[in-house]
Chain A
Amino acid sequence: CTQTACPVSCSNSSTCFIQGNTTNCSHCEPISLELCLNLPYNLTSYPNYLGHQTQKDASISWESSLFPALVQTNCYKYLMFFACTVLVPKCDLDTHQRVPPCRTLCKNSKERCESVLGIVGLQWPEHIDCTQFPEENADNTSCLMPDQDVEECSPSHFKCKSGRCVLASRRCDGQSDCDDDSDEEKCSCQEQGLWECPSNNVCIKHTMICDGFPDCPDLADEKNCSSCKYNEHVCNNHECVNRSLWCDGKIDCSDSSDEWDCVTLSKTTPSLLTVHKFATEFHVCADEWQDDLSALACQQMGLRGIPITQMVHEPNGRKKWLHLDSNWRHQNVSALQMLLVKGQPCHSRSKVSIVCEKEECGFRPAARMTKR
């Protein structure tokens, strides 16, 4: 390599490491640059014609901001296509080499759009010298020209009826950006092929409904997603799992949500240990309780320190209680709920109450003072 390290584009190539050069290390990779996801090809090869070593470099480059801004001026129908051929050059699957744009495409883009840039005091990117690209139909060379049906706007843009490209984020924003106002037409989510959050009218993709990740502020996109039977409980990802499996220490929902929040403390004083086993809330009988079990409970709640344990006597308590399994000392378990069983008498008639400490965090050491 001429540099001390292999370029990122060659980092996965054994050729680069073994032979110490970058020859033959080029490879095709899928296009991930958002601006150029609607090209008639989907593989690219780096470095590109602007000198960027990776698509990440290209995505944060000056040019990847410049071209989309320029495309809004409608200066040349195929400007975005040209921009993408230099930002993410097509990769030839046979040779793994990049395919350049044709010189004519480059020249047309420059001639029609350079003057627009000049108006706002900017210059055409200096790396783009059209003479480096081959002429169309030149011997033994291939180059890219746009088809008639090539998409003029990038995926980040909305195409006005007039053909102009405006930023997608400006569609339906209450202000006309297209010269024919078409960016403010058909603005409902339904007409855009999207789903509308009822509380704030934000549009989300249909694939985001019932996917386990809330996207609407009131979680409306994650409601009414499952119909579980009477003996089942709903998982966070909307699967149904038998209630008897809830908080049994084993994962039954594929997203493990049946084992989340199994151990909590009541908001009352004293704070009673509460376990959500069988999808029902139980208090815990104090028979045989030990301090290390309190420590485990605090850890499960994300709290640390040495807990304070109290036994709260409740001779007439009617709330359902859980009891330590008679065999609990011989069980090697990681979660408290695995040690608790129901249906046994609580001889002490006392419930476990715990006070946990919050984990120490966020404090910086005090600044040291030195005598001057």
Chain B
Amino acid sequence: ILGGRTSRPGRWPWQCSMQSDPSGHICGCVLIGKKWVLTVAHCFEGREKASVWRVVFGINNLDHPSDFMQTRQVNRIILHPRYNRAVVDYDISIVELDTEINETSYVRPVCLPSRDQSAQPDTYCYITGWGHMGNRMPFKLQEGEVRIISRDKCQTHFDMKTITSRMLCAGYESGTVDSCMGDSGGPLVCEETGGRWTLYGLTSWGSVCFSKIMGPGVYSNVTHFIDWIEKQIYLHTFLL
């Protein structure tokens, strides 16, 4: 996260880390059920096998495992069948864990939006991750407040890419607070009335985040994928 701040342990209990040897943390992810995690499809490019991955929950400092940490192996990776790596469209995947997590105040799922619930332009939401900070990679989870940007306005920042309905833009024209390499798959969450947090985006792509080219970040639009997510989880829980 660029322009963010270090997060308090446990503040984002749905944030998880997709890890693989020998690199360790590769992508962010989001807990949406006791056995189910969302991340983006591009994290699995070149690492498609479930057995090479582990998912770490309840962690703040990647370098110092905490007592609240839980680690699970990956049972199954479900990539969106329309994922297009050339244009990074339909960039979403569902990860089934080998066993359920134990829900604690440090490990807790986020809410998914309903089909008709979308993030409104000019509202303020949060992104989190262990991605690049512009000058270094952090050990501690970072958080940043970003503003949702309309698709039309976002398109003006990306002449070379089409912003599709599967994408959601958030950030600032000046790029002051933005996600960066290593944040991919992590959450963009907005607080609803009643203090409940809902997942609207998954960090997907953007400009080279610490280059001269600024602009908002582009997130996978979770609302667009709700039907697909629910049906995949149902299918793999009750029918297969």
Please list the residues of chain A having a beta carbon within 8 angstroms of any beta carbon in chain B.
5, 8, 11-12, 32-35, 37, 56, 60-62, 64-65, 68-69, 156, 167, 169, 213, 249, 251, 256-257, 259-260, 299-300, 302, 334-335, 359-365, 367
Residue of B with least CB distance to A69: B159
Contact of A361 with B239 in the complex, beta carbons under 8 Å: no
Contact of A361 with B111 in the complex, beta carbons under 8 Å: yes
A contact patch SS: loop
Complex Cα distance, B237 from A335, in Å, reads 9
Contact of A260 with B234 in the complex, beta carbons under 8 Å: yes
Contact of A362 with B196 in the complex, beta carbons under 8 Å: yes
Q: Which of A61, A213, A259, A363 contacts B195 (CB 8 A)?
A: A363
Contact of A62 with B231 in the complex, beta carbons under 8 Å: no
User: Does B109 reach chain A (CB closer than 8 Å)?
Assistant: yes
Residue of B with least CB distance to A263: B238
Q: What's the minimum C-beta distance from B44 to chain A, rounded to whole angstroms?
A: 13
Q: What's the minimum C-beta distance from B207 to chain A, rounded to whole angstroms?
A: 7
Residue of B with least CB distance to A213: B82
Chain B 195-209 per-residue mask, 1 if CB under 8 angstroms from chain A, else 0: 111100000011110
Contacts of B25 in A (CB 8 A): none
Contact of B212 with A365 in the complex, beta carbons under 8 Å: no
List the 9 closest pairs (A to B, CB-CB), nearest first: A362-B111, A365-B105, A362-B196, A361-B111, A362-B197, A335-B238, A361-B109, A32-B86, A34-B86
Contact of B239 with A256 in the complex, beta carbons under 8 Å: yes
Contacts of B105 in A (CB 8 A): 365
Contact of B238 with A260 in the complex, beta carbons under 8 Å: no
Would you list 5 pairs from A and B whose C-beta atoms are within 8 A, ordered by A residue? Answer: A5-B23, A251-B239, A335-B238, A362-B198, A365-B10
Chain B 204-240 per-residue mask, 1 if CB under 8 angstroms from chain A, else 0: 0111100111000000000000000011011101110
Please list the residues of chain B having a beta carbon within 8 angstroms of any beta carbon in chain A.
8, 10-13, 22-23, 32-33, 42, 45-46, 82, 85-87, 103, 105-106, 108-112, 155, 159-160, 162, 192, 195-198, 205-208, 211-213, 230-231, 233-235, 237-239
Complex Cα distance, B237 from A334, in Å, reads 8
Q: Which of A56, A68, A300, A362 contacts B45 (CB 8 A)?
A: A56
B contact patch SS: loop
Complex Cα distance, B86 from A35, in Å, reads 9
Contact of B198 with A334 in the complex, beta carbons under 8 Å: no
Contacts of B42 in A (CB 8 A): 56
Contacts of A56 in B (CB 8 A): 42, 45
Q: Contacts A32-B86, A34-B86, A61-B208 given: A302-B10 contact, CB under 8 Å?
A: no
Contacts of B111 in A (CB 8 A): 361-362
Q: Contacts A60-B208, A62-B212 given: A169-B155 contact, CB under 8 Å?
A: yes
Contact of B235 with A64 in the complex, beta carbons under 8 Å: no
Contact of A363 with B10 in the complex, beta carbons under 8 Å: no
Q: Which of A12, A302, A365 contacts B230 (CB 8 A)?
A: A302
Contacts of A12 in B (CB 8 A): 46
Contact of B205 with A60 in the complex, beta carbons under 8 Å: yes
Contacts of B238 in A (CB 8 A): 259, 300, 334-335
Contact of B160 with A65 in the complex, beta carbons under 8 Å: yes
Residue of A with least CB distance to B81: A213
Contact of B109 with A62 in the complex, beta carbons under 8 Å: no
Residue of B with least CB distance to A34: B86
Contacts of B82 in A (CB 8 A): 213
Identify the interface centre among B42, B160, B197, B206: most chain A CB within 10 Å of its CB: B160
